[in-house]
Structure 1
């Protein structure tokens, strides 16, 4: 929806209350909810009565605390059923490529590992050795490292074993590299991965995960460009744009976190 015309303020205030409740694991007292919404308790109570009448808010039994109601769950389930993660990722990747003027790859976990499903070429048209169907090394590429960090350890171990048994000339981009549990934890904490040395000399990459409502990885979005064009440092403006994009897509899939650290332990 792109219409930016005049809206209804009361709807926005009510939505703000719902957003506050959604951001807290525990039900909230009226005074706390009002304070967080910058409303008086009387104002907040009036909104909560209306939201409660349509099932979006309810009081916790036996207390004066408020939480999201059953209708909010219905809306969330409907949203998850109707949203196509790949379509969301493609639209966001196109915007990212246009903004950075770099190539962007959308990578999913397939039968052979981290697999590219779309590449949006940057204007420089550098040779990045990547196209739809390309399979990346799990530890020797930025995209692969994202999956190594966010997938279950048993699946990662099995994939590394399979990759190690491959014969030369398999077509996989990158080669297996040592990657410790501490390094994987660092990727999860930072919410991105890069790799050095790079699989293709002179070509850099940054990759971030797209997470769903359960904190599980759905895809990786990867920026690719010439080393002189793509800054892979932790304070890189390219990294900031990439992570903002990945987080926006993740939120579209119901991810509630403020960073791309996974929700699960």
Structure 2
């Protein structure tokens, strides 16, 4: 069977050339097809085809008067997504550092990435057992406090679709420990409690012996953009659950305020 047209060395070379075009446009501002072809050492038709693809994705645009190309506004969209994550880490670090020092445990800032959680930042308190460095890691959305917070603040249609997509052939969610909630009904019931009390508690569902408490972080318009959590050994968190929940909620509101939320 022939390889798909979009796979193999030729596809990799095309991606490399397209990225090089973006770098050339960033450096020079405006370039024509002939100039780009010469710089890439490719035929003019190849350069034109690559520019057309970039233009279709909003990453390059043609100037109407001279036929030359410049970077498109799609680049700003991509940069904005990265910038928003950087801003979130920057604006939360002072708050999460203070929280970690106070509670002594690990504090994480987490966002939604597809149907998983993505850990953006982590600060460890003095009592934290440095077993995991979660930054850059992903976890199942249904079995973590951060994931449950993010699920709880989706629309009902979005959360239902997410849970349905995560079920296996038998209709259950992935079981990570004997404590993991694996039915959609059980998770939905917990999501309702999270919305009512304002925070999530997940005990021993991702790992036995690990408990996390998480609360939502809101953007300027009030939308939930992330989750902030404290996690640590279950026996230590359980003894201080109410106090930690209050502190996590206060920290999440403080970060939300730094992001422009005034609620």
TM-score, normalized by length of structure 2?
0.56
How many Å apart are 1:127 and its aligned residue?
Answer: 5.8
How many Å apart are 1:129 and its aligned residue?
Answer: 4.5
Aligned to 1:207: 214
Question: Which structure shows the higher helix fraction?
Answer: 2
Aligned to 2:182: 177
Do residues 243 (structure 1) and 249 (structure 2) align?
yes
Aligned to 1:101: 104
Q: Is the 8 A contact 1:232 1:238 kept in 2?
A: no
From 195, 201, 218, the equivalent of 1:194 is 201
Q: Is the 8 A contact 1:136 1:173 kept in 2?
A: no
Larger-gyration structure (1/2): 2
Aligned to 2:6: none
Aligned to 1:163: 166
Aligned to 1:52: none
How many Å apart are 1:193 and its aligned residue?
Answer: 0.2
Distance 1:172 1:114 in 2: 17
Q: Kindly tell me: are residues 181 and 163 of structure 1, through their superposed partners in 2, closer, same or farther at Cα, counting changes over 3 Å?
A: closer
Distance 2:135 2:161 in 1: 24
Matched pairs, number: 171
How many Å apart are 1:108 and its aligned residue?
Answer: 0.6
Mapping of residues 1-265 of structure 1, within 5 Å: 84-126=87-129, 129=132, 131-164=134-167, 177-178=182-183, 179-231=186-238, 236-257=242-263
How many Å apart are 1:196 and its aligned residue?
Answer: 3.5
Deviation per CA, 1:15-46: give whole Å up to 9, x if none: xxxxxxxxxxxxxxxxxxxxxxxxxxxxxxxx
Deviation per CA, 1:192-233: give whole Å up to 9, x if none: 001244321111110001012322111101101112221377
How many Å apart are 1:172 and its aligned residue?
Answer: 11
Q: Kindly tell me: are residues 98 and 233 of structure 1, through their superposed partners in 2, closer, same or farther at Cα, counting changes over 3 Å?
A: closer
TM-score, normalized by length of structure 1?
0.56
Structure 1: tracts of 5 or more residues without a match: 1-80, 258-265
Structure 2: tracts of 5 or more residues without a match: 1-83
Matched residue SS, 2:247: helix
Q: Kindly tell me: are residues 156 and 232 of structure 1, through their superposed partners in 2, closer, same or farther at Cα, counting changes over 3 Å?
A: farther
Following superposition, which runs of at least 4 residues in structure 1 exceed 4 angstroms of deviation?
127-130, 171-176
How many Å apart are 1:181 and its aligned residue?
Answer: 4.0
Deviation per CA, 1:165-196: give whole Å up to 9, x if none: 59xxxx99776633354432221121100124
Q: Kindly tell me: are residues 102 and 153 of structure 1, through their superposed partners in 2, closer, same or farther at Cα, counting changes over 3 Å?
A: same
The RMSD of aligned alpha carbons is 3.0
Higher relative contact order (CA 8 A, sep 6+): 1
